[in-house]
Amino acid sequence: MKKRNQEIRRRDAGFTLIEILLVVVIIGILAAVAVPRLTGKVESAQRNAAKQGIAVIEGAIDVYEVDNGKLPESLQSLMTKGGEANWQGPYLRKAESLKDPWGTEFQYGKQGNMYTVVSAGPDLSFGSSDDVK
């Protein structure tokens, strides 16, 4: 009697192929519903992070201008001292601050006493419609 009960338990101990396939199908359906919803959120979060990065850089440029009486020649001037007499930096502490969420360096341009800081956006090329300003 004991031997027969042990044989029955051993046979019923695992999952059947149908049970495993059913679980895989359910996981697949859940993934098919969740992934498209999360994809839009990732891009939106990256765009927001790029805007925040631009705001931080613009703040550093403004402080640099107050200290030195002129705009920096490049974004690197915010991190390393050049020939400026009143340089109080570094105005940005990490080189990663100069890259957007897609890994491209922010583009800095100045004309007279005006400047712009732009991210290339998801397509990684400047001058397209997805640039973040």
Under 8 Å between Cβ of 126 and 108? no
In angstroms, how far is CA 14 from the centroid of its own chain? 44
pLDDT tens per residue across span 19-42: 888 999 999 888 888 777 777 778
Confidence of residue 54 (pLDDT cuts 50, 70, 90): very high
- What phi and psi, each to the nearest 5 degrees, are found at residue 15? -95, 150
- Report the chain's mean pLDDT, rounded to a whole number: 84
Is 72 buried (19+), middle (13-18) or exposed (0-12) by CB count in 10 A?
buried
Q: How far apart are CA 60 and CA 36, in angstroms?
A: 37
Q: What value does the mean pLDDT take over residues 63-79?
A: 90
Q: Residue type for 60, please?
A: A
Q: How far apart are CA 118 and CA 19, in angstroms?
A: 53
Element (H, E) at 118: strand 114-118
